[in-house]
Amino acid sequence: MGSAAAAAAASMHLGSWVQTYSMFNYAGRSITPSCLILSPFRKTVHPYPHPLFSPKTKRLHISPCTSITAVHLSKEEKLKEEEEETPTEETQKETQKETTVFNFKSYMLQKGHSVNQALEKAVTLKEPLKIHEAMRYSLLAGGKRVRPVLCIAACELVGGDEFTAMPAACAVEMIHTMSLIHDDLPCMDNDDLRRGKPTNHKVFGEDVAVLAGDALLAFAFEHIANDTIGVSPTRIVRAVGELARVIGTEGLVAGQVVDIGSTGLSDVGLEQLEFIHIHKTAALLEGSVVIGAILGGGSDEEIEKLRKFARCIGLLFQVVDDILDVTKSSQELGKTAGKDLMTDKTTYPKLIGIEKSREFAKKLNKDAKDQLAGFDLEKATPLIFLADYIANRQN
């Protein structure tokens, strides 16, 4: 083949390749290259820049009239060539390390599917039918499943596994769903839309909605206590205590009460707003991570690092929520947009403006990921990507 033809062939072949980037090229983005599918971790090794340029391929590109003896190699030459062609074990490991990528979309789909299956199995239709229908209506309505995935990821980071964390992961999602059902009630935020569907009380009535939330709250503790397997009773009790704390008067309830009392006031400052967000939103995210770390066998030092990580992403979640409320439509959000403005709630954009709110979100994301220093990088990768996902989410 002539040099021009060979160059053209090489150009065409190279143009068809899909480039793979390392996880660091995608840090800070919520998207994943479309070529990265199925497995969260994909490893690709190319010993040569391109097949066209390998010595073996060159040997095949000979003129039909060329004598076979012209390309016949001695035994010594073949051995030398094979040695040059075959990458060493060290080179292969280095290449694999450099081309290992994390497919966040695949990870979330896999974990979310596992959580949905576990929730479906945990809360079944039985008598009384109406209350179980109401519970399942909100619990299985979709959602990003960020809290249960955080619980699983934290458990795996410290040496545990998905099976160990799953009852706790389901428990935090049950409690999160309870908080949404109650938050939407007329006596609270009085909302008609949640996850693109009518809110629970609009379908089942206020009385059943209240009871559905109560039932999910109670069952969450029953589920984590009875279904967690392979963990010492001491750690299970510690996890249950942590969960109770982050949703009571030291957590979610405290934040909700202060939020209700602050609505419409003109003198609410940043300190009070941070208290509301840390308790109302960040607390359950914190609990999700900490419980996962406890059940996974984490040391006290590891648990506290992850607590700080979770507190940062929890506050980050709410800051982003405040921004989205004034920048996105109801259709984009799946819930009523502009609700904070209509109810005269104090938010970060209201106090410091959109741009400074975005700057604060970036700082919280960085502070969160700083807490993961010292952990195994590959095991910490899901939490790194989850932080970026929370920072860059669009609904």
Residue 355 belongs to domain with CATH number: 1.10.600.10
For range 169-184, the mean pLDDT: 96
Task: Give domain status of residue 8, yes or no.
Answer: no
pLDDT at res. 267: 82
Indicate if the pLDDT at residue 127 is higher than 90. yes
Q: Check residue 368 and give its pLDDT.
A: 96
Q: Is the CB of residue 54 less than 8 Å from the CB of residue 85?
A: yes
* Mean pLDDT computed over 374-386: 95
Is residue 236 helix, strand or coil? helix
Residue 107: closest CA among 36, 175, 35 = 36
Pick the range with the lowest mean pLDDT from 89-93, 168-172, 240-244: 89-93
Answer yes or no: is pLDDT of 146 > 70: yes
If pLDDT is split at 50, 70 and 90, which confidence band does 291 have?
A: very high
| 171 in a structural domain | yes
As a whole number of angstroms, the distance between CA 286 and CA 151 comes to 9
CB 195 within 8 A of CB 143: yes
Q: Which domain holds residue 271?
A: 112-392
Q: What is the mean pLDDT of residues 194-210?
A: 95
Q: Which of 89-93, 129-133, 315-319 has the lowest mean pLDDT?
A: 89-93
Rounded Cα–Cα distance for residues 89 and 220 (Å): 49
* 51 in a structural domain: no
Spatial separation of the C-alpha atoms in residues 92 and 81, rounded to whole Å: 18
Is 276 part of a structural domain of the chain? Answer: yes
pLDDT of residue 268: 84
Give the model's pLDDT for residue 332.
59
Phi/psi zone of residue 344: left (φ > 0), alpha (ψ -120 to 50 degrees), beta?
A: left
Number of domains in the chain: 1
**What is the distance between the alpha carbons of residues 197 and 205, in angstroms, rounded to a whole number?**
15
Domain-embedded: residue 203: yes
Ranges assigned E (strand) in 100-151: 101-102
- Specify if 61 maps to a domain: no
Tokens 């021009």 belong to which residue? 4
Q: pLDDT tier at 333 (50, 70, 90 boundaries)?
A: low
Q: Is 141 exposed, middle or buried (0-12, 13-18, 19+ CB in 10 A)?
A: middle
In a domain, 95, yes or no: no
In terms of phi and psi (left: phi > 0; alpha: psi -120 to 50; beta: otherwise), the region of 196 is left
pLDDT digits (tens, 9 = 90+) for 232-290: 999 999 999 999 999 999 999 999 999 888 887 878 888 999 999 999 889 999 999 99
What confidence tens digit (pLDDT) does each residue in 49-77 have? 333 333 343 333 333 333 333 344 454 55
Domain contains 39: no
Q: Crossing angle for the helix pair 206-227 and 162-183, nearest 10 degrees?
A: 160
